[in-house]
Amino acid sequence: MVRDDSSMRTLSERTEAGMNENLRPVEKVDDAAKTSDFLGFEYQLHDNIGHLLRTANQFAVAEFNKSLANIVGIEDITTTQFATLTTIARFPGISFSELSAFTSIDMPTLNAMITRLINRGLVTVEVNPGDKRSRRINLTEDGKQLASTLLENGIRIGEFISRNLTAAETRRLIKLLKKFSQFG
């Protein structure tokens, strides 16, 4: 078996190798952009945590969409809808503020998404009998069936997304991301 040499190169090397040959990094940058005492190395885009988190998120969303289509046969559920539907399934009658806090979805986005899910016949919203200012969200029968399918396949989807990592690396990454996001 012939091993692809490109997999052994760093992200920066692979990216630079794919660039136009006339596009080259400058040799010297301003002192302000030079070596950070905190990091101990010169700034590189592909070593920047913000950039890496953004590209990792793009990869995870693309892999989520592929896995949802391949494993479950569903192509029209977003990652935030997945989180919302499965959370409502776990906590029937959840309020908007509770759902927003639990899923880390801001209220304007959540309100718009719930409206779309209502229009698709997946959720209902009712006034909370104990507090008329609050509304409770529940799944319809179609919503329950879909959420059940999503929950049954959630682990498989996670395994598909993290298939390039070992089980130990996946656990470590989850632990670090929880710490970074202040969930753990």
CB burial of 32-64 (b: ≥16 within 10 Å; e: otherwise) equals eeeeeeeeeeeeeeeeeeeeeeeeeeeeeeebb
Class of domain 5-180 (CATH, top level): mainly alpha
Which structure tokens are listed for 9?
């190169």
**Average pLDDT along the chain:** 83
| pTM, two decimal places | 0.72
- Taking the domains of the chain in order of start, what are their residue ranges? 5-180
Give the pLDDT band (50/70/90) at residue 106.
Answer: very high
Share of the chain above pLDDT 70, in %: 77
- Residue-wise pLDDT for 65-75, tens only, equals 888 888 888 88
Q: What is the pLDDT of residues 116-132, one digit of tens each?
A: 999 999 999 999 888 88
